[in-house]
Amino acid sequence: DASSEVKKILSEMSLEKKITQTLMIDFRKWGSSETDMTVLDPQVKDIISEYDFGAFILFAQNIKETDKTFDLTMALQEAATSDDGIPLLIATDQEGGSVFRLASGTALPGNMALAATADENCAVMAGEIIGSELSAVGINTTLAPVVDINNNANNPVIGLRSFSDSADIVSRFGSAVLKGLDEYNVIGCAKHFPGHGDTDTDSHYGLPVVDKSYDELSANELAPFKALIDNGVGMIMTAHILYPQLDNTTIYSEKTGKEEKRPATMSHKILTDILKGEMGFDGVVITDGMNMEGIAATYSETQAVVEAIAAGADMICMPATGIYRESEMKRIDAIVEAVEKAVDSGYISEERLDDAVTRILNLKEEYGILELDLSKYSKKEAMNIVGSDENRKKERDIAAKAVTVVKNDGDVLPLDIDENSKVLMVAAYNNEKAQLLMGWNRGKQAGVISENAKVKCMNISDDLQTVSGELKENIDWADTVIAISEVGNADQMAYNSWQSAGVNNIVEYCHKNKKVSVVMSCSKPMDVQLYPEADAVLAVFGNKGSSVDVTEALVGSVTESKQAYGPNIVAGIEVILGVYGASGKLPVNIPEFDAANKSYSSTNMVYERGFGLSYDKK
């Protein structure tokens, strides 16, 4: 169904304009020097004006400072609407936690932390913070929330980006984030359909396989997508993953010269029959980035786009990325031409293309983007909202509420810190020390620790795996040691690296020498089982220092954001010291790890989902 306005716009569009309306383009850098594009380059302005793209995706390279981000989005919309063009969807990956782009904004503790609060209002609040900051700077779409179910402890890319290993929790908290975004008229996007949780391959690097039946997926992976569809989500992102039991057909690849299996992004059965048909989704189906190896290793840019649209994708995210100069626009021209040929030959029906464009225009109409009035935006307001004290205070409260204590022998927490106390804090990485010290200083501000207590802060590393040298000196000096455990995979779980072995050596040395040891897990919480001699163990579900963002790192660039910082480690220290009480609950089961086989038990749980010890603040 479409309004008369949408039908009128569609009827006046050329074939070429319909095709470019389905493209979400990125220009992270521009020019021969390939500098980060934080200001709209005149050449890019002309390209946006000429091509009538449907959407533009911004990355951390584009959005570093609030005032420049505001100017950039306004300039993009002015370029898009010149000559009666259609306003853009302007998107970014503002998930919160390990993936956030708006460097001047509020980072938030991430999805698994939100679920650990066991309070859906915290998720609504997180959605409102993201929505308020993005809408203030003219970004109308966030490619979030992730509603993948974290049902594979070895998943290398989803992990903390997932709310839980329970379909019900993911459904409830994903819907709550969406509700918060809606308050600020920001489009949400549920991802990655039909589910990226049960994989042990990262689709940025390879093509994962999920060998589950439709009935199995319906009971689990598909349930959160259905919940968000029922709650009016405007956009759903596809996964570059093979689901052989849903679609085992093949396609001849022009790039490899052989028959290849169809990932979900190119599957008519998955996108059209299941998502749009059986699940009744009438919004915009957008692909994950087409530059990812899950697609790019097997298919040419032109074939990938043609196949995705034919399968039922309405919008193509980054059909050709890494375009830094005008001469490289011929790659976009080739894609448009390939889709034109596919329509002319009937491989893509005109109805299919019109349906895609209608869905995009409907979404733009629903969110007021077709009637965009730039005079309603205020740079002054943006400066007041993005990264505001109010948003940071909410972020701090949410992060603290998420902190989950699983072990507290002798009620050692909250720590009693008097003027004679000597505390050593050991980070996993150098960029986390600031967070540890911020938490300590907040303890002083709150009056829960003595002003005269002494603290030292260092980071462990490969060559500090054994308790010797500076590490030994510092532990011998201290009466209490707080150590970060940042364990990301099965190898590290098996004490095969300093990330776990080093921390365990510290804990055992403290135990032998009658010193208090507290371990803070700040990655996936599976490692809370690794330190039996520790006096206390807690999980904070996030390790964002001023560090590299997981998805940015995958495409080879580094983001050093000066303003936004991960709140999780700070919150962990605040709960350890009693600035806040402990109330978090594990949003995932912690299966027993078998170090010999580097695998997790499917039956024995060290801690059950929902477990968490509590105590009052000081």
| Tens-place pLDDT, residues 135-181 | 999 999 999 999 999 987 766 568 899 999 999 999 999 999 999 99
pLDDT tens-digit profile of 207-217?
888 999 999 99
Residue 612 lies in a domain: no
Cα 243 from Cα 194, distance rounded (Å): 9
535 with 401: CB under 8 angstroms? Answer: no
Which pLDDT score, from 0 to 100, does residue 438 have? 87
Helix%, strand%, coil% for the chain, nearest 5 = 40, 15, 40
Residue in 52, 165, 192, 204 annotated catalytic: 204
Which amino acid, residue 403? V
Residue 84 lies in a domain: yes
Which pLDDT score, from 0 to 100, does residue 201 have? 64
Residue 554: which pLDDT band, with cuts at 50, 70 and 90? Answer: very low
pTM higher than the cut 0.85: yes
Whether residues 195 and 269 fall in one domain: yes
Residue 504 has pLDDT above 70, yes or no: yes
Residue 597 has pLDDT above 80, yes or no: yes
19's tokens? 């095709």
DSSP 8-state code for residue 248: -
* Catalytic residue status for 288: yes
Whether residues 376 and 483 fall in one domain: no
Structural domain count of the chain: 2
Q: Taking residues 457-486, what's their average pLDDT? A: 91
Q: Taking residues 529-542, what's their average pLDDT? A: 98
216 Cβ neighbours under 8 A, 6+ residues apart: none
Helix, strand or coil for residue 370? coil
Q: 327, 356, 384 — which closes off a domain?
A: 384
94 with 111: CB under 8 angstroms? Answer: no
Residue 263 has pLDDT above 90, yes or no: yes
Residue in 202, 288, 527, 535 annotated catalytic: 288
Q: Which domain holds residue 504?
A: 387-607
Which tops the pLDDT comparison, 464 or 496? Answer: 496
Q: 365, 384, 403 — which closes off a domain?
A: 384
Residue 491: which pLDDT band, with cuts at 50, 70 and 90? Answer: confident
CATH number of domain containing 121:
3.20.20.300
Whether residues 301 and 397 fall in one domain: no
345 Cβ neighbours under 8 A, 6+ residues apart: none
Residue 577 has pLDDT above 90, yes or no: yes
Helix, strand or coil for residue 216? helix
Whether residues 343 and 396 fall in one domain: no
Residue 616 lies in a domain: no
Residue 617 lies in a domain: no
Residue 294: which pLDDT band, with cuts at 50, 70 and 90? Answer: confident
pLDDT tens-digit profile of 88-119?
999 999 999 988 999 999 999 999 999 999 99
Residue 613 lies in a domain: no
Residue 430: which pLDDT band, with cuts at 50, 70 and 90? Answer: confident
Whether residues 464 and 338 fall in one domain: no
Whether residues 376 and 392 fall in one domain: no
The count of other CB atoms within 10 Å of the CB of residue 290 is 25
Give the Cα-Cα-Cα angle 493, 497, 502 (nearest 5 degrees): 95
CATH number of domain containing 535:
3.40.50.1700
Give the Cα-Cα-Cα angle 248, 253, 256 (nearest 5 degrees): 115
Residue 586 has pLDDT above 80, yes or no: yes
Whether residues 319 and 419 fall in one domain: no
Task: Report CA-CA distances (Å) from 184 to 48, 89, 136, 168, 396.
Answer: 26, 15, 9, 25, 21
Which amino acid, residue 471? L
Whether residues 379 and 426 fall in one domain: no
- Alpha carbon dihedral 471, 473, 479, 483, in 10-degree steps, equals 0
Residue 618 lies in a domain: no
Residue 356 has pLDDT above 60, yes or no: yes
Whether residues 170 and 224 fall in one domain: yes
For helices 568-577 and 389-402, what crossing angle results, to 10°? 60
Residue 36 has pLDDT above 70, yes or no: yes
Residue 553 has pLDDT above 60, yes or no: no
Residue 558 has pLDDT above 60, yes or no: no
Residue 431: which pLDDT band, with cuts at 50, 70 and 90? Answer: confident
401 with 515: CB under 8 angstroms? Answer: no
Considering only CA atoms, which of 33, 488, 361 is closest in space to residue 496? 488
Q: Taking residues 341-368, what's their average pLDDT? A: 98
Residue 45 has pLDDT above 50, yes or no: yes
Q: Taking residues 499-507, what's their average pLDDT? A: 94
Q: 349, 384, 419 — which closes off a domain?
A: 384
Cα 571 from Cα 540, distance rounded (Å): 8
> In 444-486, which ranges are E strands?
454-459, 480-485
Whether residues 295 and 344 fall in one domain: yes
Residue 614 lies in a domain: no
609's tokens? 């989902």
Residue 376 lies in a domain: yes
110 with 571: CB under 8 angstroms? Answer: no
Whether residues 380 and 391 fall in one domain: no
For helices 350-366 and 4-11, what crossing angle results, to 10°? 130
Mean of per-residue pLDDT scores for the chain: 93
Whether residues 346 and 398 fall in one domain: no
The count of other CB atoms within 10 Å of the CB of residue 456 is 16
Place of tokens 């050709």: 320
Residue 12 has pLDDT above 60, yes or no: yes
